[in-house]
Amino acid sequence: MKKLLPQILICTLALFSCKREKAPELSEAAEPELPRLGFFADSLSVEEWTVKGGETFTGLFTRLGMESSAAFSLAQACDSVFDVRRLRAGNRLEAYYEGSSEEHQLRYVVYDNDRIRQTVFKCFDSLAVWTSERPTSYEQKFADVTITSSLWNDMLEGGASPLLILRLSDIYAWTVDFFGLQQGDRFRMIYGQTLCEDEIISVDTVYYSVFDRGSERKVAIMLDTGEQGSNIYWNEKGESMRKAFLKAPLQFTRISSGFSYHRKHPVTGQIKAHTAVDYAAPTGTPVMSIGDGTVLSVGWAGGGGNTVKIRHNSVYTTSYMHLSRYAKGLKAGQHVHQGQVIGYVGATGTATGPHLDFRVYMNGSPINPLKMESPPVEPLSEEYMPALDSLYEHYSFVLEDMR
């Protein structure tokens, strides 16, 4: 069978639109083409400003030099192009002026909605509003990171964006304990990222990844069949990278206390069993159900504070304690999905600080969550295995060639 080779997307986008839905058009073909922002700035002076907390649209443009009545008319002209109620404190903008510094007149304002999208306001004559986007580009990258201190620091030292950590945590959420990474653990990845003015905006796709720990190896290959739910990552055997249970119920925290039958309680000082894993995290950190299931209870549990219990099947039940609050509308009997937010980290009940007390019960008996093995969900359909084999062969060769 002809091998399926992965496509590498390389694209450069340079989009702009102005004056409501369209950019101003030149009436004469001989005139120079308008720049991206939709006006010529060469003869204008520019000043940088930021939006103040609580500042209104009219107040901002009055501060920049417009008459208040004109600023109000400009706000009315925004219509669906820009929501004047969504000015964000701290966002950057550029004001373009004409004339001397003593008598300069405001002509245009360019507001940064984010790192790509900008809104341009024409502040004289026929008031107008349009949008523009900074040019972006897409590139495929390779990263090889070995853990020496922390994944975050080692990612930076390896020349890769820490945004890549988010993608890896999604892919390996079921198979790698990111709270228990060890020195010598190694990630190798082929991925794509979007840049704007040489700044990394997003890590979009991880095409292939390998996690090594000693003789243990976990391969993740992206293959989107569009037929098997949201899963698009598989190992080289066609087994789903998704499992019945997540490795942890929250992201990017640390384990402050492990599973033990002989622990000194930090508050009471008593020696007793601690059949849970404590995750230290800031108050308000979202807590997720590690798997599909039915909520058994939502309520106060004495020393456990605000607690949610979930039955996943006839074998497994989980408990989430010390929550500051519950997810809106959560109640007993409700079905929840894997990864669904059920509450938020807190310090209710008997606790010295904000953390999640997470427990897993197997047939009614507590087990160590960090040692729980989780079966994969439905494997890749046989008809797609040739494509997966081809991708695996190709990317394996590419990684070896980059060593």
Same domain, 158 and 113: no
Residue 81, domain member (yes or no): yes
Same domain, 57 and 154: no
Same domain, 58 and 129: yes
Residue 384, domain member (yes or no): no
Give the end of a domain, one of 71, 99, 133. 133
Residues 370-394 pLDDT 10s: 888 777 778 899 999 999 999 999 9
Residue 322, domain member (yes or no): yes
What residue type is 118 in one-letter code?
A: Q
Which of 319 and 162 is assigned the larger pLDDT?
A: 319
C-alpha of 387 from chain center: 29
Q: Is the pLDDT of residue 75 over 60?
A: yes
Please return the burial class of 79, using the count of CB atoms within 10 Å of its CB with bins 0-12, 13-18 and 19+: exposed
Say how far apart CA 173 and CA 166 lie, in whole Å. 10
Instruction: Give the H/E segment covering residue 213.
Output: strand 199-213
Give the end of a domain, one of 178, 202, 234. 234
Q: How many CB atoms lie within 10 A of CB 64?
A: 17
Lowest mean pLDDT among 15-19, 227-231, 329-333: 15-19
Same domain, 19 and 104: yes
Please return the burial class of 126, using the count of CB atoms within 10 Å of its CB with bins 0-12, 13-18 and 19+: exposed
Say how far apart CA 212 and CA 72 lie, in whole Å. 61
Same domain, 258 and 222: no
Q: Are 315 and 373 in contact (CB under 8 A)?
A: no
DSSP string, 325-363: EEPTT--TT-EE-TT-EEEE-B--SS-SSSEEEEEEEET
Lowest mean pLDDT among 180-184, 202-206, 268-272, 307-311: 268-272
**Residue 60 φ then ψ, to 5°:** -65, -50
What residue type is 197 in one-letter code?
A: E
Say how far apart CA 112 and CA 120 lie, in whole Å. 9
Same domain, 85 and 141: no
pTM recorded for the entire structure: 0.63
Say how far apart CA 212 and CA 175 lie, in whole Å. 12
Q: How many CB atoms lie within 10 A of CB 20?
A: 15
Mention every residue, 6+ apart, whose C-beta is less than 8 A from residue 323: 287, 305, 306, 307, 308, 343, 344, 345, 346, 348, 356
Q: How many residues does the chain have?
A: 403
Same domain, 302 and 315: yes
Mention every residue, 6+ apart, whose C-beta is less than 8 A from residue 252: 169, 178
The CATH number assigned to the domain holding 263 equals 2.70.70.10
Q: Provide the domain count of the chain.
A: 3
Residue 97, domain member (yes or no): yes
- The CA R_g of the chain, rounded to the nearest whole Å, is 27
Q: What is the mean pLDDT of residues 276-288?
A: 93
Residue 273, domain member (yes or no): yes
What residue type is 53 in one-letter code?
A: G
Same domain, 274 and 296: yes
Please return the burial class of 321, using the count of CB atoms within 10 Å of its CB with bins 0-12, 13-18 and 19+: buried
Residues 12-69 pLDDT 10s: 223 223 333 444 554 455 567 889 999 999 889 999 999 999 999 999 999 999 999 9
Residue 142, domain member (yes or no): yes
The CATH number assigned to the domain holding 228 equals 3.10.450.350
Residue 348, domain member (yes or no): yes
Q: What is the pLDDT of residue 6?
A: 37
The one-character DSSP state at 7 is P
Range of the structural domain that residue 261 is part of: 254-371
Same domain, 158 and 269: no
The one-character DSSP state at 30 is T
Closest alpha carbon to 83 in 52, 117, 107: 117
Phi-psi category of residue 39: left, alpha or beta, with phi > 0 → left and psi -120 to 50 → alpha: beta
Lowest mean pLDDT among 11-20, 116-125, 225-234, 354-363: 11-20
Tokens encoding 62 = 């009055």
Residue 326, domain member (yes or no): yes
The one-character DSSP state at 209 is E
Give the end of a domain, one of 182, 205, 234. 234
Same domain, 118 and 203: no
Mean pLDDT (the chain) is 85
Same domain, 144 and 208: yes
Same domain, 260 and 335: yes
